[in-house]
């Protein structure tokens, strides 16, 4: 771990000023569950760490019927998992929090940190001068790539590790970004950066910018939602593939909704063609299974991860049917 200065601003303006010219100068420190590992492994080496936990008002959970949910970036994963309002109105969020890490890490880890965490790729985390760390090669392309992406990769084939992002994407969440000049709001799917645009970053935050709020629209009446995460062991692992589904139904048909994926792409992923087809889809085993056969049809699996495509399709089908109460 390099030497750094540990600073504790008490408002966003000061924090933003301290962040200076970018990650070589200063990085934000919140729950620390990912940052400590990145520092210990010398993946990052900022001169200053800006602890934002002393800034008031960033750990609020507010729900207003009709308006929806507002979450501060410092809300812990445990708080999301246990919040009765979230469990009632947004099961997909509580379920994603429930299968994330371990109890003690959920106590420390924050929503903002979960959305901004760095990839788990073993070449990125390990002692490799990989593309994402300024090198010339994505070692996973020709190397060990069982857990890497099957769609949207190249020139770097990481997967985005966040569970919360997948659930929030299915809920059509928006992110508010504080800058000294103005505060702006963007849809969550515009928050993440694909490697084809810039393979050295996972999100759009520029130097001095801080995520200040996450907003989730009010749930339409009768909304069904859920999160399913496939892990190689029962608990405490990152998703091999995960899927979040949010939809409404009338009789035996879906009237609208959205499905999103973790573990398949460098960003939390949506198959827009599939989401358009959801509206009107009959909730029978046959029609859901048929529709899922076309999911992620542009996928180009790597040498060791072709299994992810049928896994994503089957997880989606079973989640939709399970939420609808159709026997599998």
State how far the alpha carbon of 128 is from the alpha carbons of 134, 136, 208, 210, in Å. Answer: 10, 11, 29, 29
Q: Which is nearer to another protein, 52 or 173 (CB)?
A: 52
Map tokens 């130097």 to a residue.
207
Q: Is 40 in the site for another protein (CB under 8 A)?
A: yes
Using CB under 8 A as the binding rule, the residues of this chain from 230 to 269 that contact another protein are 235-236
Residue 24 interacts with another protein (CB under 8 A)?
Answer: no
42's enclosing H/E stretch is: none
> Considering beta carbons, is residue 16 or 76 the nearer one to another protein?
76
What 3-state class would DSSP assign to 134?
coil
Is 133 one of the binding residues for another protein (CB under 8 A)? no
Tokens matching residue 140: 């996973």
Which of the ranges 30-38, 144-152, 166-174, 316-324 carries the binding residues for another protein, by CB under 8 A?
30-38
**Token pair in block for residue 157:** 């084939």
Question: Which residues inside 101-120 make contact with another protein, applying CB under 8 A?
Answer: 101-105, 107-108
CB closer to another protein out of 106 and 174 = 106
Residues 2-21 as x/- pattern, contact with another protein by CB under 8 A: -xxxx---------------
Give 209's Cβ-side CA count (13 Å radius).
16
Using CB under 8 A as the binding rule, whether residue 1 contacts another protein is answered as: yes
**Least distance (Å) between residue 189 CB and another protein:** 29
Closest contact distance (angstroms) between CB of 99 and another protein is 10
Nearer to another protein, 30 or 175 (CB): 30
Angstrom distance (rounded) from CA 97 to CA 120: 18
- The least CB distance from residue 40 to another protein, in Å, is 7
> Which of 101, 156 has the CB closer to another protein?
101
Instruction: Kindly state the number of chain residues that form the binding site for another protein, as judged by CB under 8 A.
Output: 23
Among 13, 36, 186, 196, binds another protein (CB under 8 A): 36
In the shown chain, the binding pattern of residues 50 to 89 toward another protein, with x for contact by CB under 8 A and - for none, equals: -x-x------------------------------------
**Whole-angstrom Cα distance, residue 114 to residue 88?**
22
Round to whole Å and give the CA distance between 242 and 104. 22
Residues 238, 120 contacting (CB under 8 angstroms): yes
Residue 271 DSSP SS3: coil
Using alpha carbons, list the distances in angstroms from residue 98 to 76, 117, 285, 320: 12, 18, 27, 19
Alpha-carbon 311 to chain mean position: 19
- Of the candidates 175, 139, 171, the residue with the CA atom closest to the CA atom of residue 157: 139
Residue 136 binds another protein (CB under 8 A): no
Is residue 51 a contact partner of residue 14, using CB atoms and an 8 Å limit? no
C-beta of 100: minimal distance to another protein in Å?
10
Q: Is 42 among the residues that bind another protein (CB under 8 A)?
A: no
Least distance to another protein, CB of residue 228, Å? 17
Report the distance separating Cα 105 and Cα 227, nearest Å: 20
Question: Residue 109 in contact with residue 263, Cβ under 8 Å?
Answer: no
Report the interface residues with another protein, using CB under 8 A. Answer: 1, 3-6, 29, 32-33, 36-37, 39-40, 51, 53, 101-105, 107-108, 235-236
């Amino acid at each position: 771990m390099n030497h750094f200065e540990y600073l504790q601003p008490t408002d966003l303006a000061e924090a933003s000023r301290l962040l200076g010219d970018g990650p070589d100068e200063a990085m934000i420190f919140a729950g620390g569950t990912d940052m400590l590992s990145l520092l210990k492994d010398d993946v990052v080496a900022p001169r200053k760490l800006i602890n934002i936990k002393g800034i008031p008002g960033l750990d609020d959970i507010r729900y207003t019927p009709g308006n929806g949910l507002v979450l501060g970036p410092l809300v812990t994963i445990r708080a999301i998992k246990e919040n009765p309002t979230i469990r009632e109105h947004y099961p997909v969020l509580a379920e994603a929090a429930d299968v994330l890490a371990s109890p003690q890490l959920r106590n420390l880890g924050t929503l903002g940190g979960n959305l901004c965490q760095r990839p788990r790729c073993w070449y990125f985390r390990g002692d490799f001068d990989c593309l994402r760390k300024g090198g010339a090669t994505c070692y996973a392309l020709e190397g060990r790539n069982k857990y890497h992406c099957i769609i949207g990769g190249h020139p770097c084939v990481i997967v985005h590790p966040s569970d919360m992002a997948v659930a929030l994407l299915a809920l059509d969440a928006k992110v508010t970004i504080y800058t000294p000049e103005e505060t702006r709001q963007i849809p969550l799917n515009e928050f993440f950066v694909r490697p084809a645009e810039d393979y050295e970053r996972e999100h759009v935050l520029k130097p001095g910018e801080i995520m200040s709020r996450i907003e989730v629209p009010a749930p339409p009446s009768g909304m069904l939602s859920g999160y399913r995460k496939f892990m190689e062991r029962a608990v405490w692992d990152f998703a091999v593939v995960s899927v979040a589904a949010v939809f409404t139904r009338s009789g035996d048909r879906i009237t609208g909704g959205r499905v999103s994926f973790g573990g398949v792409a460098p960003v939390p992923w949506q198959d827009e063609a599939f989401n358009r087809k959801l509206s009107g889809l009959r909730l029978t085993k046959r029609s859901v299974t048929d529709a899922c056969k076309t999911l992620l049809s542009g996928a180009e699996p790597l040498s060791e991860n072709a299994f992810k495509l049928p896994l994503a399709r089957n997880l989606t089908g079973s989640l939709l049917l399970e939420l609808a109460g159709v026997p599998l």
